Structure 1
Amino acid sequence: YDKKKLPVIEKKINIKYLEGNSLKTKSFNTYFTNKGPIMAIRDGKWISLKSKNRNTASLIQSWVRTKAKSFEEYQKAMDLKANASNNTVYADDKGNIAYWHGNFIPVRDTKYNWSDVVDGSTSATAWKGLHNVKDMVHLYNPINGWLQNCNSTPFSVSGKHSPTKANYPSYMAPDGENFRGVAANKLLDKPVKYDLDKVIAMGYDTYLPAFEVLIPALLKAYAQLPQSDPLLAELKAPIDILKAWDYRSGESSIAAAIAFEWAPRLNPIIQKVYIDPGEKDQIENTSAFVASARPNELLDPLKATLADLSKRFGKWEVTWGEINRFQRLTGAITERYDDNLTSIPVGFGSALWGQLPSYRSNQFKTNKRYGFSGNSFVCAVEFGPRIKAKSILAGGNSGDPKSKHFNDQAEMYAKGQFKDVLFYKEDVVKNAEKTYQPGN
């Protein structure tokens, strides 16, 4: 380290685990440098990891921010700089809104690419303390009155009133724009007087901005086919459907079904949402792809999509709701899915294509697709003298398949219909199905 020899610490760690009914022990020989534990070997070199994963301040921050009664108290909680993983959005009953892009951010040398492994043998790559909150990417009370957080760049968090990228080191916010962020900005930029139901309706807008880029390119490729090409007749019907499409998803939409099945067959670069500093983001990659794609790069995947749908369903004219299903059978983290058992149609799609009510689905040795990621707990809150809130869960509150609350929210979830949140004690008592006294 800095041309000096430092010891590598060797430590034996014993891990106990259950095998059947027997408690067994396995020993691991582990190694630590001054940076942290050796976690991997790449290109013959050991990689040690410096990580913030054991810290009392994190626990304290989680507690005090929950107890904060004002924007000032919440800011004091953020000043602990202990949140190593999340972006934070804040709102209160005084009308304050705020956004922080991260919280525990070490000061680093900008000459290095911090999205990759760096040379650990020099102090040049050592963390140089932490950034102060005032120096992090953040925004308080923008004049347009709104914030959005779609796991995309913070430099569009509030439209044209967002922080300026050039004012921050690249490692602080390498995130690129994605189509969900585009959708949110487009909606929020329209002047609307919101109430709770309008907020929910906006969050469940089904517009898909990615296809506003992809479909015109497909139509152009089709229009360039020579009159002698058999694809001209073969693809005419689906092309006509896509030409008339409004780029919205829905249970009854054949166009959405074709688009959702077709797009993943295109160049995988358009699906890349996590980028390194200096790389093109999803919007730029998609625009570059359609600008340079040869007609067959768009048309051949469409032909393959139609063949696949016909194989799975006996025809390609299938609605999105027939394909895209919600099914909860066991409550296990890794759920199992079965085409022969009851499922519910869902009209939403993946956030990858800009869907705000995100519902990512896939085949699991099945013909139909089943949701496994996306919106799971969704809540809309109106702050004031008395809190009003509505929420929905993916399936139900219980993890027990025998409980009536295992799937009692499934239909509502699939439709984007919310229930009232029972926040106050009198509401909870009034609606209680069963009460008990702790200790009895």
Structure 2
Amino acid sequence: MKLCYLLLLPFSVAAQSSFPAETARWREQAQAVTIIRDEWGVPHIYGRTDADAVFGLLYAQGEDNYWQVEESVIKKLGRMAELYGEKELGSDANMALRQTAEQARRAYQRGSAPFRKLCEAAAAGLNYYLLTHPQVPRRLLTRYEPWHVLLYAGPDGTTHGITAGERRRLGLGGSGGPGEGAEGWAQQQESGSNAVALAPAKSASGHSLLLINPHVGFFGDNQRYEAHLVSEQGLNASGFAMLGQFWIWSGFTATTAWAHTNTAADGDDVYLENFDHPRDSTLYRYGRGYRTAVTWTDTLAYRTPTGLQRRAFRFRRTHHGPVIAQRGRTLLTIRHATPDFGGVAWQAWRMSKAATLGEFQAALRMRQLPTNTMYADARGNIAYWHGNAVPRRDPRFNWMNPVDGSTSATEWRGRHRLRQLVHLLNPASNWLQNCNSTPYQAAGAASPAAARYPAYLAYDPQTFRALEALRQLEATGPLTADGLRQLAFSPRLSMYAAWLPQVLAAYEREATRQPALRGELQAVADTLRRWNYCSAVGSRATTLAYAWGRQYSSHINQRFASSVPYFAPAIAPYLHGTSLPVPDSVALALLRAGTKDLTQRYGTPWVAWGDVNRLQRIHSSGSQEKFADDKPSLPVGAFTGGAGSLFAFATRPEVGQQRQYGVGGNTYVAVVELGPRVRAQSVVNFGQSADPNSPHYFDQALLYAGYQLKQAWFYREDVLALAKRTYHPGE
């Protein structure tokens, strides 16, 4: 009991009384770090060493959004139920099953001395922030350890067809999967990214250009944090980091730029395991016999009105990985190509320091990343790699689905080398794009042939966003940086351009047979027929199209079982097909239902899109704050990425609210021009700070909603000229 009490002491007291030598080191390191905040509050962090810059980055993250940094670590430690009660036990159990804390500790211990030093600097930066800000609430954590920055849950098998119900049979929740059914498919389409690279021949300036454009949730631990890191050891990288992490994930240096997109290059697999031994429940079938599973028990705490209670969970794992779900009498395990985050972090760090294509490829050859990578540099090179950490497998199996775990035929055979992955370097098209889409159309006619590769290297569909990017890149000549910005914010909805004419044709055929329909839907049909398929704040047609789309999502959710994975061929025509995959009667019924829904909600179907589609900042997930129509918000003309909007903006209807508010989509947009002096512009969806009292809480939202970017300053003289605050951590 005394130990628990000590752990709950305010960290400032514990640190000053228990670790005087340590706090002295933090203060000394803080003096080696200079943070310059520009006019948008973006921190430009200068240190003598790489570790100094990392110290400053995590300190700055604490200043801007400590609440979410702490929440992210708590979640990955599997301690959310200690904050939010029994409802979070499933999530915590999933982390305990994955042994996220043990994996992170091992990753830190196995790391090189330079890597461990960076982890230590990151923890020190957060701890020094708490030391110098005793007024900041400590909800659960009072001290950060170096391994905390390496916490990682990994995938939960959703893309391989595992359902929430199958996880719940074992008392487990999800851990980063996109959910199920229409909601899950929509999340998968929105939770991705766009990336475009232009070679000098496709650039009006004769310099390479790169678009960085992640699509993720606006709230929670996926938030993008813009920063610029500089050290005297060769570090000079600007872009975004994830909260609680110390490296620039996507960004640029003076000579290189890179971006990541989510991939369906298969980096994890689900196995069907039969624990059918008549006498020993720890034995699972393998080959002609059995193997013994590892079993253990963890006791997890959860908050109640009368104090913490505890519940024991029994876990097991096979040689493939942890048992994460139950399907009938069969158990399902998952194996991930990057089970710990140490390799990912070190590879990402090396990429942020690469000055040439050769150095960048050397980092990629570590093969730790679970993503695609787009690249451009000042020497005129552009490149794309589809996936990175991808196991070699027997191509006879369909690896999208769970495979038989009892046979050696489904064992991995090492990892593919970098040159074996689907990739392109300086294609004849002079451009590359990926919008969570197939790499076999990444460069138009200059793309690689799918027949050359195993299917599991690219299960990705051709998304409507990719179709729109291809249409624009193939139709235009050389682009300026501003032209690439316009492409990034393109509101054209290629899904409706493909499908809506079929809906209207169905209406005309049916109206010929049922003249009464003209009185009901003629004005709606006329409005949609005149539409240019571009979403806009003042567009009523956009709202009508959205209403049809909601009905369509409900229809396919009923049409398919929730266990159909997003990448399954059966669902592809319904999400990405260029022909509307429903009969005329259904298409028309959806139009009638959508129009009726608008009339019921607003009293009329004639509603401007900007009156419905809004951007509002609330506190991060876990709080009680909700979106509200009576709070300030901005109209946004963008649309969901699943419909082909390159400017992806996903909203969530709130019960009792007339408006819908953005919850995901474009979070960081940057256009980088790699000339003799690198130039970049960027924007985030809200602002740099999560403090409602900060001038940088919502200051970039006007740019974001107006399809504009700000300057992303890179050279110190520019940063100093526009500095609004210069200080050492702790001042």
- Fold conserved between structures, TM > 0.5: yes
**1:172 corresponding residue in structure 2:** 457
Would the alpha carbon gap of residues 55 and 410 (structure 1) be closer, same or farther in structure 2, given more than 3 Å must change? closer
Amino acid at match of 1:344: L
In the alignment, the residues of structure 2 paired with residue 351 and residue 97 of structure 1 have an alpha-carbon distance, to the nearest angstrom, of 25
In the alignment, the residues of structure 2 paired with residue 352 and residue 240 of structure 1 have an alpha-carbon distance, to the nearest angstrom, of 24
1:300-332 C-alpha deviation (Å, 9 max, x unpaired): 222222222122222111111111111113344
**2:396 corresponding residue in structure 1:** 111
1:401-422 C-alpha deviation (Å, 9 max, x unpaired): 1211111111111111111012
In the alignment, the residues of structure 1 paired with residue 303 and residue 678 of structure 2 have an alpha-carbon distance, to the nearest angstrom, of 46
Amino acid at match of 1:212: A
Identity %: 35
Would the alpha carbon gap of residues 301 and 394 (structure 1) be closer, same or farther in structure 2, given more than 3 Å must change? same
**2:588 corresponding residue in structure 1:** 299
**1:436 corresponding residue in structure 2:** 727
1:175-222 C-alpha deviation (Å, 9 max, x unpaired): 111111100000011242222111101212221111122211122112
Secondary structure in 2 matching 1:341: coil
User: Is the Cα contact below 8 Å between 2:574 and 2:580 reproduced in 1?
Assistant: no
**1:375 corresponding residue in structure 2:** 666
From 252, 270, 274, the counterpart of 2:538: 252
User: Is the Cα contact below 8 Å between 2:670 and 2:683 reproduced in 1?
Assistant: yes
State how 1:139-218 maps to structure 2 within 5 Å. 139-218=424-503
Q: What is the TM-score with the length of structure 2 in the denominator? A: 0.57
From 218, 230, 239, the counterpart of 2:525: 239
User: Is the Cα contact below 8 Å between 1:155 and 1:164 reproduced in 2?
Assistant: yes
Amino acid at match of 1:125: T
1:76 and 2:366 matched: no
Would the alpha carbon gap of residues 3 and 423 (structure 1) be closer, same or farther in structure 2, given more than 3 Å must change? same
How far is the alpha carbon of 1:277 from its aligned partner?
5.8
From 598, 602, 615, the counterpart of 1:309: 598
**2:415 corresponding residue in structure 1:** 130
**1:344 corresponding residue in structure 2:** 634
**1:289 corresponding residue in structure 2:** 581
State how 1:378-393 maps to structure 2 within 5 Å. 378-393=669-684
Secondary structure in 1 matching 2:469: helix
Amino acid at match of 1:73: E
Higher relative contact order (Cα pairs below 8 Å, separated by 6+ residues)? 2
In the alignment, the residues of structure 2 paired with residue 245 and residue 194 of structure 1 have an alpha-carbon distance, to the nearest angstrom, of 27
Moved over 6 A (4+): 17-24, 269-273
User: Is the Cα contact below 8 Å between 1:181 and 1:354 reproduced in 2?
Assistant: yes
1:7-59 C-alpha deviation (Å, 9 max, x unpaired): 11222334566778977765432212121221111111111222232154323
In the alignment, the residues of structure 2 paired with residue 113 and residue 307 of structure 1 have an alpha-carbon distance, to the nearest angstrom, of 43
State how 1:49-64 maps to structure 2 within 5 Å. 49-51=334-336, 52-54=338-340, 56-64=342-350
User: Is the Cα contact below 8 Å between 2:318 and 2:333 reproduced in 1?
Assistant: yes
Between 362-371 and 233-242, the greater mean CA deviation after superposition = 362-371
Taking only aligned residues, the RMSD between alpha carbons, in angstroms, comes to 2.4
How far is the alpha carbon of 1:356 from its aligned partner?
0.7
Secondary structure in 1 matching 2:432: coil
In the alignment, the residues of structure 1 paired with residue 673 and residue 392 of structure 2 have an alpha-carbon distance, to the nearest angstrom, of 37
In the alignment, the residues of structure 2 paired with residue 66 and residue 386 of structure 1 have an alpha-carbon distance, to the nearest angstrom, of 18
User: Is the Cα contact below 8 Å between 2:507 and 2:588 reproduced in 1?
Assistant: yes
How far is the alpha carbon of 1:374 from its aligned partner?
0.6
5+ residue gaps, structure 2, are 1-285
Secondary structure in 2 matching 1:47: strand
User: Is the Cα contact below 8 Å between 1:86 and 1:102 reproduced in 2?
Assistant: yes
How far is the alpha carbon of 1:337 from its aligned partner?
0.8
In the alignment, the residues of structure 1 paired with residue 570 and residue 601 of structure 2 have an alpha-carbon distance, to the nearest angstrom, of 42
How far is the alpha carbon of 1:276 from its aligned partner?
2.8
User: Is the Cα contact below 8 Å between 1:273 and 1:282 reproduced in 2?
Assistant: no
User: Is the Cα contact below 8 Å between 1:156 and 1:162 reproduced in 2?
Assistant: yes
In the alignment, the residues of structure 1 paired with residue 724 and residue 622 of structure 2 have an alpha-carbon distance, to the nearest angstrom, of 27
**1:355 corresponding residue in structure 2:** 645
In the alignment, the residues of structure 1 paired with residue 574 and residue 531 of structure 2 have an alpha-carbon distance, to the nearest angstrom, of 23
**1:268 corresponding residue in structure 2:** 556
User: Is the Cα contact below 8 Å between 1:13 and 1:28 reproduced in 2?
Assistant: yes
How far is the alpha carbon of 1:351 from its aligned partner?
0.9
Aligned pair count reads: 436
**1:330 corresponding residue in structure 2:** 619
**1:397 corresponding residue in structure 2:** 688
> Which one has the bigger strand percentage?
2
Would the alpha carbon gap of residues 310 and 399 (structure 1) be closer, same or farther in structure 2, given more than 3 Å must change? same
> Which one has the bigger helix percentage?
2
Secondary structure in 2 matching 1:105: coil
Q: What is the TM-score with the length of structure 1 in the denominator? A: 0.92
Would the alpha carbon gap of residues 393 and 59 (structure 1) be closer, same or farther in structure 2, given more than 3 Å must change? closer
State how 1:65-104 maps to structure 2 within 5 Å. 65-83=351-369, 85-104=370-389
Would the alpha carbon gap of residues 396 and 3 (structure 1) be closer, same or farther in structure 2, given more than 3 Å must change? same
Amino acid at match of 2:379: K
How far is the alpha carbon of 1:260 from its aligned partner?
1.4
Secondary structure in 2 matching 1:121: coil
1:44-76 C-alpha deviation (Å, 9 max, x unpaired): 111122223215432321121111110011111
Would the alpha carbon gap of residues 312 and 44 (structure 1) be closer, same or farther in structure 2, given more than 3 Å must change? same
